[in-house]
Structure 1
Amino acid sequence: MLPSLSSIAARLRLKHIRLLVAIDDEGSILKAAKQVALSQPGATKALQEIEEALGAQLFLRTNRGLEPNELGHCVIRYARLIYTDLGHLREDMAGILEGHGGRVAIGMIMGAVPSTTQVIARLQAKQPTMSVKIVEDTSERLLQLLDDGRLDLAVCRTSISHRSDAYDAVAVREEELAVVGHVDNPFVRARALSLLDLASSPWVAFSANMPMHRYLEREFHDHGLPFPRGVVETTSAFVTLSLIDRNARMLALMATDVADFFRRAGMLSILPLRLRTRSDPYFLVRRRDRTLSPAAQMLVEEFSGGALEAAVRSEDEGSAWRSEAVPTA
């Protein structure tokens, strides 16, 4: 039986975390010992302490050195996360002491990338030594990272969560949608265009469980048209662009901000089609039960020119942050 959490926490030391990472890097106890400034017998003893603290064997001893078993891979993964977090702790402390705010980690859905990176660029112009980590992913994944403490903030939607009351959210932007295609798509210069004209075209869309896919389905349904067959599903903007580049007839549904960015770069065109479907707005989201770091507070303030500063620090019901469920992502 695995030891209790309190038992593990009482027996594991930071030197054990360093040693686990070093063993994974070096593949041998001797090289790992040198990396963490231990003797080989000292490293061997420390490894024994780790396995005793966790109540399981983590490595196979072979003539090629130490090889982690399945449990070992799991423990090493978390050891790296802990060691990385210690590095982030040091960065935050240094930032506070030096007055530039340290480090902030923010996630964003694809549709929010253009507007959010603009905010980050403004902040970095003011705080050039601030460290910023950016993750682009789906709302579901971003909220998971927010829950795990891997992100300070996320620009996404929370209604996909069964625990939407765990978050506070401030509306950032309404999201409009556009149909995009190759720069030489035959429909680009059409004077009048309907969805019926596009029904037989090949489409690339978000995965079936994603809101952008549902928006496209809704658009076809509202026009009384069957959803296209043979749709290529992906959550990657790069894959979407690559498919459009290779097929002049390929179409996709995109947030207008993203489509405009790629259009200006000459990578795609926006078709002259007015859609009935509108996407839900996205929000700046944080966990209700966590205090924001100085760097995260700076970023929040940059989103609204300082107007949210009081809201971030307030727990009052009148805060600009809202805790009720917000629309789908």
Structure 2
Amino acid sequence: MSGIPPAPALPSLDAMISRLRLKQLRLLSVLADHGSLIKASEQLSITQPGASKALAEVETALGATLFVRTNKGLVPTDIGHLVIRYARLIQTDIGHLREEMQGMLEGSGGRLALGVIMGAVPLLSDALTRLLELRPGLSVEIVEDTSARLLRLLEQGRLDVAICRTSISQQPQLYDSIDIHDETLAVIANVAHPLADRDSLELEDLAASRWVVYSANMPMRLSLEREFHQAGLRFPLQLLETTSAFTTLSLLQKNPRIVALVSTEVAAFCTRFGMTRILPLRLRSRSEPYQLVTRHGGSLSPAAMLFMREFPAYQAGIQSDTDQMQGSNAGR
């Protein structure tokens, strides 16, 4: 027999939802900040016995000890840290709810949460600029990350729309998507890169360089790996992996010998403002198209629908669906 005791059974989800209160979640956040029931009760304008009772109630509702007493005050347990993180997320969401409601009541536009992969940042910026001309009071949150991370945020309802790719997901049926732009790739470097003034380059000329790339198994990274394989070259081992456009630019500025693989849109933007040079290397591979992605079965806010309408491919899809419906009705 194993000497490890079985994990305690947690209350059911329905039980947790029915017993938890928003004011209890607020208490957890304040306790984490102060580590003291006295200070927490003062900030929340409740009595210390009331705060102690509320903490006991939330621990009972969740079936776990969230804080332990030490000589430094109340310290969160491992599960306590987890619960506090989600408590703060819930409070943030309530704040966003109020913000959207206020925006609708005032006619100022509400709130929109967008996700974008690095290569599609210029595309998103153009569409968002046009949208803000229509809805100047709109509040917008933009998350730049990998497709995998953005899809998870969509699943959790933390994003309204993402410009990314569903091909990396093992469950693409969870999303509705439409191709909006074919991505082509370019290699950029510091304006002082030793090979920047060459008329043409081969991949072999950059084989020994340190590359800034996306992480493994991401479409853009796979395209570069394919380029090296087709050229009969060993893929570089000393890589700098990042999903951040700013980090990429900063690295290129600090080291004139580093090169980076980016979309042609990002390359053109950075070069237009004198931050980088596009190296004269012709890449044969094309990356997968960008997609406009939403959660399957989820409802879209008016602001999200307006944002999606800024993309011609989405408009064409709507028109195609309308034509098919009209054709079907005409045939009856």
Global fold match (TM > 0.5): yes
- Candidates 136, 144, 159, aligned match of 1:151: 159
* Structure 1 CA distance for aligned equivalents of residues 130 and 168 of structure 2: 30
Asked if 2 retains the 8 angstrom alpha-carbon contact of 1:202 and 1:230, the reply is yes
Q: Which residue of 2 aligns with 1:136?
A: 144
The verdict on how the C-alpha distance between 1:232 and 1:31 changes in structure 2, with shifts beyond 3 A counting, is same
Cα drift, residue 23 of structure 1: 1.4
Q: In the alignment, is residue 257 of structure 1 matched against residue 285 of structure 2? A: no
Equivalent runs, 1:166-177 vs 2, <5 Å: 166-177=174-185
CA deviation map 1:194-253 (0-9, x unaligned):
223322333232222322221111112222223234333333333332332233222221
CA-based RMSD: 2.3
Asked if 2 retains the 8 angstrom alpha-carbon contact of 1:300 and 1:308, the reply is no
* Structure 2 CA distance for aligned equivalents of residues 276 and 117 of structure 1: 27
* Structure 2 CA distance for aligned equivalents of residues 251 and 306 of structure 1: 34
Equivalent runs, 1:39-188 vs 2, <5 Å: 39-188=47-196
Cα drift, residue 13 of structure 1: 1.2
CA deviation map 1:51-75 (0-9, x unaligned):
1111221111234322111111111
The verdict on how the C-alpha distance between 1:179 and 1:152 changes in structure 2, with shifts beyond 3 A counting, is same
Give the AA of the match of 1:258: V
The verdict on how the C-alpha distance between 1:291 and 1:309 changes in structure 2, with shifts beyond 3 A counting, is farther
* Structure 1 CA distance for aligned equivalents of residues 190 and 42 of structure 2: 56
CA deviation map 1:164-222 (0-9, x unaligned):
01111122211110011110122222123222332233323222232222111111222
Give the AA of the match of 1:155: I
Name structure 1 gaps, 5 residues minimum: 320-329
Asked if 2 retains the 8 angstrom alpha-carbon contact of 1:206 and 1:212, the reply is yes
The verdict on how the C-alpha distance between 1:16 and 1:202 changes in structure 2, with shifts beyond 3 A counting, is closer
* Structure 1 CA distance for aligned equivalents of residues 114 and 75 of structure 2: 35
Asked if 2 retains the 8 angstrom alpha-carbon contact of 1:27 and 1:65, the reply is yes
Asked if 2 retains the 8 angstrom alpha-carbon contact of 1:96 and 1:294, the reply is no
The verdict on how the C-alpha distance between 1:71 and 1:274 changes in structure 2, with shifts beyond 3 A counting, is same
Q: In the alignment, is residue 209 of structure 1 matched against residue 209 of structure 2? A: no
The verdict on how the C-alpha distance between 1:225 and 1:317 changes in structure 2, with shifts beyond 3 A counting, is farther
The verdict on how the C-alpha distance between 1:43 and 1:318 changes in structure 2, with shifts beyond 3 A counting, is farther
* Structure 2 CA distance for aligned equivalents of residues 317 and 11 of structure 1: 50
Give the AA of the match of 1:263: T
Aligned residue pair count: 316
Highest relative contact order (Cα 8 Å, sep 6+), 1 or 2?
1
Name structure 2 gaps, 5 residues minimum: 1-8, 326-332
CA deviation map 1:143-163 (0-9, x unaligned):
000001111110000011111
Cα drift, residue 139 of structure 1: 0.2
* Structure 2 CA distance for aligned equivalents of residues 49 and 228 of structure 1: 56
Q: Which residue of 2 aligns with 1:325?
A: none
The verdict on how the C-alpha distance between 1:14 and 1:212 changes in structure 2, with shifts beyond 3 A counting, is same
Asked if 2 retains the 8 angstrom alpha-carbon contact of 1:301 and 1:309, the reply is no
Q: Which residue of 1 aligns with 2:304?
A: 296
* Structure 2 CA distance for aligned equivalents of residues 221 and 24 of structure 1: 52
The verdict on how the C-alpha distance between 1:211 and 1:63 changes in structure 2, with shifts beyond 3 A counting, is same
* Structure 1 CA distance for aligned equivalents of residues 12 and 323 of structure 2: 39
Mean alpha-carbon deviation: is it higher for 227-236 or for 58-67?
A: 227-236
| TM-score, length basis structure 2 | 0.88
* Structure 2 CA distance for aligned equivalents of residues 209 and 54 of structure 1: 38
Q: Which residue of 2 aligns with 1:13?
A: 21
Asked if 1 retains the 8 angstrom alpha-carbon contact of 2:144 and 2:244, the reply is no
Q: Which residue of 1 aligns with 2:330?
A: none
* Structure 2 CA distance for aligned equivalents of residues 298 and 220 of structure 1: 41
Instruction: Provide the secondary structure at the position in 2 that maps to 1:46.
Output: helix
The verdict on how the C-alpha distance between 1:305 and 1:94 changes in structure 2, with shifts beyond 3 A counting, is farther
Instruction: Provide the secondary structure at the position in 2 that maps to 1:302.
Output: coil
* Structure 2 CA distance for aligned equivalents of residues 230 and 13 of structure 1: 50
Q: Which residue of 2 aligns with 1:266?
A: 274
CA deviation map 1:22-53 (0-9, x unaligned):
21223211222222221111111111111111
Q: Which residue of 2 aligns with 1:27?
A: 35
